[in-house]
Amino acid sequence: MAEDRSRPGLSVVIPFHNVEPYFQTCLESLRTQTFSDFEVVMVDDASTDGSAEIADRFASIDPRFRVVSSAKVGVGVARNIGVENSSGDLLAFVDADDYVPEYAYELMTETLAKTGSDFVAGNARRFDSVSVWQSWSHRRPFVTTRLATHCRRTHVLGIDRYIWNKVYRRDFWDSAGLSYPDMLYEDYPVALAAHIRARQVDVLAEPIYYWRHRDGGEASITQSHWHLDNLEDRVRSAEMLFEMVEEHAPYLADLVKSHLTATDVQVLARSIEDHPADEAGRIFDLAARYLARIDDKILDRQGPYERLVFDLLKRRRRGALTELTRYRAENGTQAPLARRRDGWYAKLPSFEDPAVGAPDSLFRLAPAYLKPKAVATEAWWSGSRVAVRVNIGVNTLPLAPRTRFKVWLQSPAGVKVPVDHVSRPRAIAFGQTDRSTLELSIDPSRLSGDRQWRLMVSLRNRDVRDVIQVATSGDGRERWQGWRRIGNRWCRPGRLPGGFGITVRDLPDAWVDHTTDLGDEIEIRGAFRGHAPEHAELTLTDRSGSVATHPLTIGDRGDRGITPWRLTVPVDAVLEKSGMDMPMEEIVPTRVKLVRKGRTSPLPVHPDFLGSRSLMKGRAVNATRDPNGSFVITAAHDRPVVHDAWWQADELILRGPDGPRLESTGAVLRTWPTPTKPLDVSLDVVDRDGVFLITVPVEAVRSAAADHGGCATSSWSLLDAREHKPIVVSRELGERVPQPAAHEPAKLEFGWSDEIHLRLVARPGSS
């Protein structure tokens, strides 16, 4: 290391090996960080493609980047080499095919400066060539921001298993003795050891890392988990974790072991049929080592499928395990049920098969397995009433025709208001018909007070008796319609803490009426009820936590006690602070709050609110409302937007503005019948009076899927035909598209960033 080299504030270590298609995007995301006091140590792990040339080019144009060459040592040792050759006061790691949003290191370093914690960790998104979605692995640990916490108090941090969404203090890294083992799955032992050995840590709900899912070509390390060496390292990693929690953090032992068992053992089981007999024997040996470390109470808590897997692995029943694995590929982990006098049993492969000899107790459904769940899938306004569709399920147990339902809304004080409902049959697994789709009609005028009303359901039949609160799926993709004025109050269906319900609000004392696109500015207009404050302002907060303040211009009070206000916000300022550097398609929110008399609060939007859409620098800035009905400004890539959709016989028609551009590029539906090659179906696009019309012939799409080995219920992404970028849906349409009627052959689904997917509906009688 050169003597005159200044000591950077942050060292970012990136090992790389043959990542040429992705590497430049990754490095560019680091070069454009808003935090600039860093060095990037790129460790060339014996690349044989063009990755080294990309690294050398960045090193030649930016002195903060430098290359360290190595023999092929693997990602863990390469990271250690990078640490040894770095000098920053803070330390971060990045995988060479991933992406770091521009605000990430500014946000994390500022957080550490405020709290003095040993390290900070942030949320992560996954992405592919089409979509962006919340990383499932990070959903629970990063659901909310927690500063100066520790896994002793926040146990869920025990499953925070990745290393690249963090910034460590170098003195903590060294004093804790952290380094990477020479193996795959090296992240989790280091990440968990850091959590256990730290004094305190910071957890951020904001996404600070984008984790690539390769949807074509060579798989990444974590996507190549069937290789025998990979499996052996997976078990070694788990054993290190078991020893760590047993010796140093017994308060995490049950959580960590349960988390690993739910994934690792199933991977071992599914890999058996892909290996010859001698290698399968080694996998059984690995499984025996693994299961010997798992308490029986953890195994007993699993469902019938998982318990059967454990039993077959312990008894080394390769044939039965292969049959079970193939069953899972076709049917998932559920099964048709058999009723006996002592309860229900899952009729999985090997059930009542004396040649296999699996005990009947493995197949019995525990009472918790029969706990019903009710999920609101959709809610929309129908006149002055709210229509809601609720699905009720008890795993694969069909609810009998004589099932009785009661539905009501319940206030925090326990007041109950009955809800009109109709039960509709729907098809569920294994050819059964389940009378558990409820269509509700709610009259909000019957709901009193300024409060939230939870939707409750009781059901009763021969097998199930329970009272449950209706929930939401929790994946952020539900479509609820917004506020509507009913009498002198505002009402809105949607997510509540712990479930779904109706929020009733007295006329608020401030709101947003409408917004207007003025070209390079957005005009925002609203009103105060009653006496307006002498001074008020809006704050706009971006993902990095940076806040911009804009004072309101307050008008004169009108005859009805309503005082108007307005302000203008430069569109360019929103784009600069939005973090819109991502090459992925994601909606980036700028949170807007009202500040007056020392109080800060979100701004509700009027039921008749009309949003606006501004275009600048290839980006779309939307003044709109968030899922909670509050005003928000979002930035997204400029894409064709579908504003309306309807069925015409067996064809789906999609309509939106900006027809000439989409007509010139065309549109396709894309799916992936194999991991290496997509299947595209071209769609007709016509321009008619300034709007585009896309025709989706569903049966032709179904035939294409069948001809190329696609699933009968495949999900297809709607893309433009030139750049293969998503065509998106307007929030207004996304919130009013009902589920398809029984005769419709497909349904629209919407992703995290409002991209459109079409999912084929299985024909009656098909599996």
**Which residue spans within 643-755 are E strands per DSSP?**
644-648, 651-657, 667-671, 679-688, 691-697, 715-720, 728-729, 746-750
The residue among 427 and 693 whose pLDDT is bigger is 693
Q: Are residues 209 and 276 in the same domain?
A: no
Q: Would you state the pLDDT for residue 3? A: 42
Confidence check: pLDDT of 224 > 70: no
Give the percent of the chain with pLDDT over 70: 92
With respect to residue 342, please indicate whether it lies within any of the assigned structural domains.
yes
The residue whose two tokens read 């501004």 is 614
* Listed range (19-28, 209-218, 733-742) with the worst mean pLDDT: 733-742
pLDDT digits (tens, 9 = 90+) for 181-200: 999 899 999 999 999 999 99
Cα–Cα dist 456/373, whole Å: 11
Q: Are residues 214 and 252 in the same domain?
A: no
Could you tell me the pLDDT band of residue 464, with boundaries at 50, 70 and 90? confident
The residue whose two tokens read 């069937």 is 226
Q: Give the dihedral of Cα atoms 22, 23, 26, 31; nearest 10 deg.
A: -150
With respect to residue 134, please indicate whether it lies within any of the assigned structural domains.
yes
CA 29 to chain centre: 22
With respect to residue 456, please indicate whether it lies within any of the assigned structural domains.
yes
The residue whose two tokens read 């560019």 is 28
Q: Are residues 236 and 266 in the same domain?
A: yes
Cα–Cα dist 498/491, whole Å: 19
Beta-bridged to residue 516, according to DSSP, are: 523
* Listed range (302-306, 353-357, 367-371, 388-392) with the worst mean pLDDT: 367-371
Q: Are residues 660 and 732 in the same domain?
A: yes
DSSP 8-state symbol, 584? S
Number of domains in the chain: 5
Confidence check: pLDDT of 736 > 80: no
Neighbour count for residue 21 (Cβ, 10 Å): 15
Cα–Cα dist 744/729, whole Å: 20
Which H, E and C letters describe 611-648, residue by residue? CEEEEECCEEEEEEECCCCEEEEEEEECCCEECEEEEE
**What mean pLDDT do residues 637-648 have?**
86
The residue among 150 and 571 whose pLDDT is bigger is 150
Q: Are residues 523 and 562 in the same domain?
A: yes
Q: Are residues 95 and 197 in the same domain?
A: yes
Q: Which two tokens stand for residue 741?
A: 């009627």
Residue 39 CB burial class (10 angstroms; 0-12, 13-18, ≥19): buried
Confidence check: pLDDT of 300 > 90: no
Q: In what order do the strands lie in the sheet with 562-570?
A: 553-554, 562-570, 521-529, 510-517, 605-610
CATH code of 558's domain? 2.60.40
Could you tell me the pLDDT band of residue 480, with boundaries at 50, 70 and 90? confident
With respect to residue 357, please indicate whether it lies within any of the assigned structural domains.
yes
429-452 in b/e burial notation, b at 16+ Cβ within 10 A?
eeeeebbbbbebebebeebeeebb
- At residue 508, φ and ψ (nearest 5 deg) are -70, 165
- 463 touches 344 (CB < 8 A): yes
Q: Would you state the pLDDT for residue 165? A: 97
Could you tell me the pLDDT band of residue 458, with boundaries at 50, 70 and 90? very high
pLDDT digits (tens, 9 = 90+) for 589-610: 889 999 998 899 999 888 888 8
Beta-bridged to residue 466, according to DSSP, are: 459
With respect to residue 411, please indicate whether it lies within any of the assigned structural domains.
yes
Q: Would you state the pLDDT for residue 210? A: 94
175: phi > 0 → left, psi -120 to 50 → alpha, else beta; which? Answer: alpha
Q: Would you state the pLDDT for residue 333? A: 85
- 530 touches 540 (CB < 8 A): no
Q: Are residues 568 and 580 in the same domain?
A: yes
For residue 499, which of 464, 453, 460 has the smallest C-alpha distance? 453
Q: Are residues 339 and 213 in the same domain?
A: no
Long-range contacts of 498-501 (CB under 8 A, 24+ apart): 498/454, 498/469, 498/471, 499/454, 499/455, 499/469, 499/470, 499/471, 499/472, 500/376, 500/379, 500/388, 500/454, 500/455, 500/470, 500/471, 500/472, 501/409, 501/452, 501/453, 501/454, 501/455, 501/470
Q: Would you state the pLDDT for residue 734? A: 64
Consecutive H or E run containing 158: none
Could you tell me the pLDDT band of residue 578, with boundaries at 50, 70 and 90? low
Q: Would you state the pLDDT for residue 475? A: 58
Confidence check: pLDDT of 4 > 90: no
With respect to residue 290, please indicate whether it lies within any of the assigned structural domains.
yes
With respect to residue 767, please indicate whether it lies within any of the assigned structural domains.
no
Could you tell me the pLDDT band of residue 582, with boundaries at 50, 70 and 90? low
Q: Would you state the pLDDT for residue 450? A: 78
Confidence check: pLDDT of 218 > 70: no
Cα–Cα dist 363/377, whole Å: 31
Give the up-direction half-sphere exposure of residue 624: CA atoms within 13 A in the CB hemisphere: 20
Confidence check: pLDDT of 1 > 50: no
Confidence check: pLDDT of 735 > 80: no
The residue among 633 and 476 whose pLDDT is bigger is 633
What is 375-420 written as a DSSP string? EEEEEEEETTEEEEEEEEEBTTBPPPTT-EEEEEEE-TT--EEE-E
* Listed range (84-88, 170-174, 427-431, 565-569) with the worst mean pLDDT: 427-431
**What mean pLDDT do residues 293-302 have?**
88
Q: What is the pTM of this model?
A: 0.85
Confidence check: pLDDT of 746 > 70: yes
Q: Which two tokens stand for residue 584?
A: 């992925």
Q: Are residues 191 and 236 in the same domain?
A: no
With respect to residue 4, please indicate whether it lies within any of the assigned structural domains.
no
Domain finish residue from 319, 344, 369: 369
Q: Are residues 621 and 683 in the same domain?
A: no
CA 602 to chain centre: 24
- 170 touches 91 (CB < 8 A): yes
Q: Are residues 47 and 185 in the same domain?
A: yes
Give SS3 for 205. strand
For residue 636, which of 582, 592, 591, 593 has the smallest C-alpha distance? 582
Q: Would you state the pLDDT for residue 661? A: 75
Q: How many helices (H) and strands (E) does the chain have?
A: 18, 44
CATH code of 80's domain? 3.90.550.10
Give the percent of the chain with pLDDT over 90: 53
Q: Would you state the pLDDT for residue 386? A: 93
- 511 touches 603 (CB < 8 A): yes
Domain finish residue from 616, 637, 658: 637
Q: Are residues 311 and 447 in the same domain?
A: no
Confidence check: pLDDT of 738 > 90: no
Give the domain range for residue 722.
Answer: 641-760
Rank 243-247, 448-452, 460-464, 588-592 by mean pLDDT and report only the highest.
Answer: 243-247
Average pLDDT along the chain: 88
- At residue 322, φ and ψ (nearest 5 deg) are -65, -45
Domain finish residue from 334, 349, 369: 369
- 616 touches 571 (CB < 8 A): yes
- 392 touches 377 (CB < 8 A): no
Q: For CA atoms 672, 678, 683, 687, give the dihedral sign.
A: positive
